[in-house]
Amino acid sequence: MPEYSDKVMDHFSNPRNIGEIGEADGMGEVGNPVCGDMMKFTIKVKDNRIEDVKYLTFGCGAAIAVSSMVSEMAKGKTLEEALKITNKQVAEELDGLPGNKLHCSNLGADALHKAIEDYMEKQGVKGENAS
Amino acid sequence: MPEYSDKVMDHFSNPRNIGEIGEADGMGEVGNPVCGDMMKFTIKVKDNRIEDVKYLTFGCGAAIAVSSMVSEMAKGKTLEEALKITNKQVAEELDGLPGNKLHCSNLGADALHKAIEDYMEKQGVKGENAS
Amino acid sequence: MKKISLDNQAASPLEPAVLEAMLPFFTEHYGNPSSGHELGNAPRKALEGARASVAGLINAEPREIIFTASASESNNLAIKGLLAANRSKGNHIISSSVEHFSVLNQLKTLEKEGFAVTLLPVDQYGLVNPVQLEQAITDKTILVSIQAANPEIGTIQPLDDLVKVAESKGVPFHTDAAAAAGWIEIDVKKTGVALLSLAGDQFYGPKGSAALYISQKTRIRPLIEGGIQERGLRAGTENVPALVGLGVAAKLASETMAQRVKAITLLRDQLKERLLENVPHLHLNGHPKQRLPHNLNLSVQFVEGEALLLRMNMAGIYVSSGSSCTSQALKSSHVLAAIGLPPELAQGSLLLSLGRQNNAEEVPYITEQLAAVADLLRRMSPLYHQYLKEVQNNA
Amino acid sequence: MKKISLDNQAASPLEPAVLEAMLPFFTEHYGNPSSGHELGNAPRKALEGARASVAGLINAEPREIIFTASASESNNLAIKGLLAANRSKGNHIISSSVEHFSVLNQLKTLEKEGFAVTLLPVDQYGLVNPVQLEQAITDKTILVSIQAANPEIGTIQPLDDLVKVAESKGVPFHTDAAAAAGWIEIDVKKTGVALLSLAGDQFYGPKGSAALYISQKTRIRPLIEGGIQERGLRAGTENVPALVGLGVAAKLASETMAQRVKAITLLRDQLKERLLENVPHLHLNGHPKQRLPHNLNLSVQFVEGEALLLRMNMAGIYVSSGSSCTSQALKSSHVLAAIGLPPELAQGSLLLSLGRQNNAEEVPYITEQLAAVADLLRRMSPLYHQYLKEVQNNA
Ligand SMILES: Cc1ncc(COP(=O)(O)O)c(C=O)c1O
Ligand SMILES: Cc1ncc(COP(=O)(O)O)c(C=O)c1O
């Protein structure tokens, strides 16, 4: 088995916040089946805060755990705070990821940021921190 | 262990006719320490027959067994008969020798022939069958 | 919890008789086969017995069998060894796009060294076409290397036909039979291959036990030079216990192949049918008929293989996958790509390989678990949700 | 009848703890270390544990250890692998005339391929002279390969000095430590070797277990290409049981080397003295002091080695010899020739190597038997009779 931490295995086994928000305020997608990982994040925003966040993920154990962790980290944060979440932080919160999984599966923060940017664009507000 | 037949092991373990005849009628030597095998045959001839034959051998199990077998085969034979003993016959009498021993250790008949030739030369009679 | 391995091609428990035969060679008969004293006798005899048993499995002569430590080593010795002995004759090698890495990766190196390599394509089932082989052979071709069966999708090549083509052009043929030996009838005399690789751990023998068949008329150079073990073609003190194990495994495989194949084909087909009935959106990979009896390769649409593997593992069922995430090189299976499988299906591939410890009572549990796992992962799959929307829209 | 093996370098019984540690990896933990499911966990961990133990034996880092199946393979991987990765840098290799065939025979092949090879001579004790090494190095030299100790005459090379010379000229150094590892202190960090070969069966580990140390700054190419086992430097499913055995053997050797060496040196020296006292015309081969603690090499003047070996075997004592007749290639020892031993003495060489099962109570029996055998064979030796005549004539 890949050398997954207990936290990764916990999030993989019991992923939080799975799903797709019906009338989402923002949507972000990363990856594709060729590379083996795809994530689709949808968010609900209220008073500049991420009131709800859900995701759909096609991918390995790391990709699923990362999605789950990102959703937990983002929930309740202001958009500015959420934009500061980095893939590195996500990996750290998961007590690390196997070296070879750091690049291809650790895209959760990117998907979240895309969802936030999507929201901002829809609002006509181009976020300063957008990457 | 080399794939020696029981007969080889018998002659190696209990070599017959070891020694050197003091006042030999003929003496033949083959081999040298570089190749790993040396045989020295001495014979006593009476009425054109090999009355006694002894040998000294420095060499492997096959060389010792071959010497012993040759001495048994030669004893009592006429010189002409003894000259007809071939290395191949000796190997056959020993129920065969390992392939890699056929060339270097199977020199007993040669040594015997040399002893006979030596005898014949001393007698001033160059044998017809000498090789 | 139940533990069921469906990954027997990766590793399978030894036949008890194999381990039993090996044990004395770790203790009483620990000697070196090259020794000139008594301690060498039992190991040497055992080694030659094992050689005869391996020869028997493929209808070779004992002296045509060289022992090695892995199928990878056999493949490297076969190809590099033949080329080293035949440098002057040409520089063109033909192989296929579905070979094991222990063939493909050396070919890449050989290309850098100036050899020209043609990798024949395969059809949707993974079959190499003898006509395409014939067309690919030039007067520079010095070696054809095509596997007997594919370890991943199970497809068995038309070896007789392929060898016939090469033979008619006078080109020596190597076949990597690591996945096939012990499971399908192989007769080197009838087939006419020059070189054949096989490995004991693929038919209940130990790890570290393998062989290369080298037909009497074929000349190769050693890869590992040194002492004159294995007729000078593979130096090094022989791993007697492992090779004794290989011998026993080969003997058992020869003697019981018909029964083994019959039983495991039945079980595999039963598993296949139950899965296809109970788990929607499954696709069979490889040839429907010409396949290894213990091999089943399915793509579970909309989900990724490593997640499948981990979830099945949580249910005590051990499987393997051709997805990128399960490969150590992080590349999805080149075999699934070669048969034209779309990337999404390749990522969701599931390799189930059966072994002697599997039985029909396990089938319902496996089916139930795969159905549950597929369902669970699909519910979080963006591809599946997209599919559902498309179905709705079309309705 | 008593059975005494004095041929422990050819093969020795496993340490019981070694076999015990191996057994579970044939049964419960039969998995493939590359597997992505639970069955891969125990074998993978065990493999990495073994790697750490082997690294510990020579003060290396675990990632600097590549597992192989024999010292011969390690030597071939080291030399061919380094040359393949450094082709552009030069074409000159320096080695010694007393290397094992798994070094010398590849060098012969490499010479045919255009490499220039210098084999350094040795002195009467088998020592390579660092000054001669220095003089042999040119700006084309890309590798020096000199053994740590000679398996036949036991001589330990001045490795530190030799490596220092190569290092000062920027030439990487490989040492074949197959005979030395486990028996003398080796510290790759202090010594500064680039590559080092060792084999488990030389220190009570199993056959088929060996390793190559590759220092972090050294680049080599694999000999066996394929999967990415062993960092891509040695493809093939890992022989887990054998490598677990290697790990335990390495750990035991590290932990108990001082005691082992002390005890076996004592025994060896006792045997040597008793033999020299009781058997006339014995000659010690190799270095009197700088030698492997378990190795004793004697020439029994006037008699041939195979006959000695067979007669000792009949007495239940197993020995080895450097005579032509005991070598599979039917050539007397190149090592004995290199130290200038006359052919007659080389043919009568006797290699006695001790192991954990030998003890002081065996010494009188061994002495008595060798005395009897030597006497018996001398009485039929033309060389001995000649010697006696010369003595008589001189008297
Ligand atoms: C110094 C040395 N190198 C290499 C070898 C070859 O070992 P193997 O036969 O295990 O490959 C030996 C064998 O004893 C040896 O002593
Ligand atoms: C067809 C084929 N060739 C080669 C190999 C390599 O085997 P090993 O890892 O034992 O060297 C395998 C492994 O499963 C295989 O299936």
Which of the following is catalytic: D325, D337, D372, D383? D325
Mean predicted confidence (pLDDT) in C8-21: 97
Nearest-CB residue to D11 (from C32, C102, C313): C32
- CA of C12 relative to ligand 2 center, distance in Å: 14
Mean predicted confidence (pLDDT) in D141-155: 98
The reply to whether C165 and C286 lie within a common domain is no
Please report the pLDDT score of residue B100 as a whole number.
77
CB–CB of D41 and A2 under 8 A?
Answer: no
Helix (H) or strand (E) holding A26: strand A26-32
Helix (H) or strand (E) holding D198: strand D195-199
Residue C57 pLDDT grade (very low, low, confident, very high; cuts 50, 70, 90): very high
CB–CB of D320 and C109 under 8 A?
Answer: no
The reply to whether C194 and C267 lie within a common domain is no
Give the residue, by CA position, lying nearest to ligand 2 atom 5.
C71
Mean predicted confidence (pLDDT) in B3-13: 95
- CA of D205 relative to ligand 2 center, distance in Å: 26
- Inform me whether the pLDDT recorded for C14 exceeds 80: yes
The SS3 of residue C297 is strand
How many angstroms separate the CA of residue B3 from the nearest CA in chain C?
Answer: 9
How many angstroms separate the CA of residue B31 from the nearest CA in chain D?
Answer: 11
Q: What is the pLDDT of residues C288-336, one digit of tens each?
A: 999 999 999 999 999 999 999 999 999 999 999 998 888 777 788 999 9
- Inform me whether the pLDDT recorded for A100 exceeds 80: no
E strand spans, B1-131: 26-32, 37-46, 49-58
Residue D87 token pair: 């082709």
Please report the pLDDT score of residue C395 as a whole number.
82
Please report the pLDDT score of residue A114 as a whole number.
97
Which of the following is catalytic: C117, C235, C284, C325? C325
- CA pair distance D262, D145, nearest whole angstrom: 29
> Between the CA atoms of A81, A83, A85 and A86, what dihedral angle is there, to the nearest 10 degrees?
-150
- CA of B49 relative to ligand 2 center, distance in Å: 70
- CA pair distance C386, A27, nearest whole angstrom: 14
Burial class (CB in 10 A: 0-12, 13-18, 19+), C231: exposed
- CA of D73 relative to ligand 1 center, distance in Å: 9
- CA pair distance C271, C274, nearest whole angstrom: 5
Which of the following is catalytic: B13, B35, B84, B95? B35
The reply to whether C42 and C138 lie within a common domain is yes
The SS3 of residue D313 is helix
Q: Integer distance in angstroms from the first to the last C-alpha of chain D?
A: 43
The reply to whether D278 and D192 lie within a common domain is no
Please report the pLDDT score of residue A2 as a whole number.
66
Q: What is the pLDDT of residues D180-202, one digit of tens each?
A: 999 999 999 999 999 999 999 99
- Inform me whether the pLDDT recorded for A130 exceeds 70: no
Q: Are C324 and A36 in contact (CB under 8 A)?
A: yes
Please report the pLDDT score of residue B130 as a whole number.
44
CB–CB of C325 and A12 under 8 A?
Answer: no
Contacts of D67 (CB under 8 A, 6+ apart): D47, D50, D51, D209, D210, D211, D230, D234, D238, D239, D243, D246
- Domain containing C308: what range? 4-10+257-394
Last residue within a domain, chosen from C195, C218, C253: C253
Last residue within a domain, chosen from D253, D269, D297: D253
State ipTM.
0.94
Angle between the C362-379 and C240-278 helix axes, to the nearest 10 degrees? Answer: 70
For residue C81, list chain D residues with Cβ-Cβ distance below 8 A.
Answer: none
- CA pair distance D117, D192, nearest whole angstrom: 23
Alpha helices in C38-100 (DSSP H): 41-58, 71-85
- CA pair distance C295, C183, nearest whole angstrom: 11
C297: β partners: C285, C351
DSSP structure string for C173-235: EEEE-TTTBTTB---HHHH--SEEEEEGGGTT--TT-EEEEE-TT-----SS-SS-GGGGTS-
The reply to whether D262 and D211 lie within a common domain is no
In B, residues 55-84, which contact D (CB 8 Å cutoff)? 55-64
Q: What is the pLDDT of residues D331-365, one digit of tens each?
A: 889 999 999 999 999 999 999 999 999 999 999 99
Please report the pLDDT score of residue B127 as a whole number.
47
Give the residue, by CA position, lying nearest to ligand 2 atom 8.
D236
Dihedral pair phi/psi, residue D20, rounded to 5° = -60, -40
The reply to whether C314 and C390 lie within a common domain is yes
> Between the CA atoms of D327, D330, D331 and D333, what dihedral angle is there, to the nearest 10 degrees?
10
Dihedral pair phi/psi, residue D215, rounded to 5° = -60, 155
Last residue within a domain, chosen from D253, D279, D308: D253
The reply to whether C294 and C336 lie within a common domain is yes
Amino acid letter, A10: D
Residue B1 pLDDT grade (very low, low, confident, very high; cuts 50, 70, 90): low
Mean predicted confidence (pLDDT) in C107-116: 96
How does the average pLDDT of chain D come out, rounded?
Answer: 97
Mean predicted confidence (pLDDT) in D239-263: 98
CA distances from D317 to C103, D5, D354, D362 (A): 47, 6, 12, 10
Q: Which residue of B has its CA nearest to C32?
A: B1
CB–CB of A57 and C382 under 8 A?
Answer: yes
Percentage above 70 pLDDT, chain B: 92
What number of H helices and E strands is found in chain A? 5, 3
- CA of D99 relative to ligand 1 center, distance in Å: 10
Using a CB–CB cutoff of 8 Å, tell me whether A1 touches chain D: yes
If one counts the domains in chain C, the total is 2
Angle between the D101-112 and D71-85 helix axes, to the nearest 10 degrees? Answer: 30
Burial class (CB in 10 A: 0-12, 13-18, 19+), C28: exposed
The reply to whether C44 and C172 lie within a common domain is yes
User: Does D143 sit in the ligand 1 pocket, CB within 6 Å?
Assistant: no
> Between the CA atoms of D168, D172, D176 and D180, what dihedral angle is there, to the nearest 10 degrees?
40
The reply to whether C273 and C126 lie within a common domain is no
| Touch of B by A (3+ CB pairs closer than 8 Å) | no
Q: Are D351 and D295 in contact (CB under 8 A)?
A: yes
CA distances from D309 to C38, D6, D202, D265, D320 (A): 10, 11, 21, 23, 6
- CA pair distance D151, D78, nearest whole angstrom: 19
Mean predicted confidence (pLDDT) in D212-231: 96
D93: β partners: D117, D143
Please report the pLDDT score of residue C48 as a whole number.
98
Q: For residues C163-178, b (16+ Cβ closer than 10 Å) or e, as one string? A: bbbbbeeebbbbbbbb
A27: β partners: A42
**Neighbors of chain C with 3 or more C-beta pairs under 8 Å:** A, B, D
Atom of ligand 1 nearest to the CA of D199: 10
Q: Which residue of C has its CA nearest to B4?
A: C36
Burial class (CB in 10 A: 0-12, 13-18, 19+), C314: middle
| A46 DSSP 8-state letter | E
Question: How many other CB atoms are found less than 10 A from the CB of residue C388?
Answer: 13
Please report the pLDDT score of residue A1 as a whole number.
58
Please report the pLDDT score of residue B33 as a whole number.
85
Instruction: Please count the residues of chain A.
Output: 131
Q: What is the pLDDT of residues B57-85, one digit of tens each?
A: 999 999 999 999 999 999 999 999 999 99
- CA pair distance D200, D242, nearest whole angstrom: 9
- Inform me whether the pLDDT recorded for D327 exceeds 90: no
Mean predicted confidence (pLDDT) in D160-173: 98
For residue D224, list chain C residues with Cβ-Cβ distance below 8 A.
Answer: 70, 72-73, 76, 102, 223
Mean predicted confidence (pLDDT) in D28-34: 96
Helix (H) or strand (E) holding D317: strand D317-318
Contacts of B82 (CB under 8 A, 6+ apart): B50, B74, B112, B113, B116
Locus of tokens 């080399």: B2
Provide the whole-model pTM.
0.95
- CA pair distance B93, D115, nearest whole angstrom: 50
- Inform me whether the pLDDT recorded for A131 exceeds 60: no
- CA of C224 relative to ligand 1 center, distance in Å: 12
Which ligand lies nearest the alpha carbon of C104? 2
Residue C43 token pair: 């190991």
Edge-to-edge strands, sheet with C282-285: C282-285, C295-300, C349-353
CA distances from A115 to A53, C385, D156 (A): 10, 18, 69
Mean predicted confidence (pLDDT) in D37-62: 97
The reply to whether C143 and C291 lie within a common domain is no
User: Does C95 sit in the ligand 2 pocket, CB within 6 Å?
Assistant: no
Residue C11 token pair: 């590793």
Atom of ligand 2 nearest to the CA of D227: 9
User: Please, what is the Cα angle at C311 between C308 and C313, to 5 degrees?
Assistant: 105
User: Does C301 sit in the ligand 2 pocket, CB within 6 Å?
Assistant: no
Please report the pLDDT score of residue C87 as a whole number.
87
CB–CB of C227 and D313 under 8 A?
Answer: no
Task: Sort strands C92-96 and D4-5 into parallel, antiparallel or unpaired.
Answer: unpaired
Please report the pLDDT score of residue D326 as a whole number.
80
Q: What is the CATH number of the domain that holds C330?
A: 3.90.1150.10
Mean predicted confidence (pLDDT) in D154-178: 98
Angle between the D305-314 and D362-379 helix axes, to the nearest 10 degrees? Answer: 130
Please report the pLDDT score of residue D330 as a whole number.
75
- CA pair distance C206, C27, nearest whole angstrom: 17
Residue C203 token pair: 């038919």
B60 is catalytic: no
Mean predicted confidence (pLDDT) in D305-325: 94
**Neighbors of chain A with 3 or more C-beta pairs under 8 Å:** C, D
CB–CB of C41 and B1 under 8 A?
Answer: yes
Q: Are D355 and D42 in contact (CB under 8 A)?
A: no
Residue B46 token pair: 């009476």
D252 is catalytic: no
D66: β partners: D212
Sign of the CA dihedral running C335, C339, C340, C341: negative
Residue C326 token pair: 């399960």
- Inform me whether the pLDDT recorded for B125 exceeds 80: no
| Touch of D by A (3+ CB pairs closer than 8 Å) | yes
Q: What is the CATH number of the domain that holds C43?
A: 3.40.640.10
How does the average pLDDT of chain C come out, rounded?
Answer: 97
Lowest mean pLDDT among A87-96, A121-130, C336-345, D129-138: A121-130
The reply to whether C263 and C247 lie within a common domain is no
- Inform me whether the pLDDT recorded for C110 exceeds 70: yes
Q: Is B17 left (phi over 0), alpha (psi -120 to 50) or beta?
A: left
The reply to whether C114 and C159 lie within a common domain is yes
| B60 DSSP 8-state letter | -
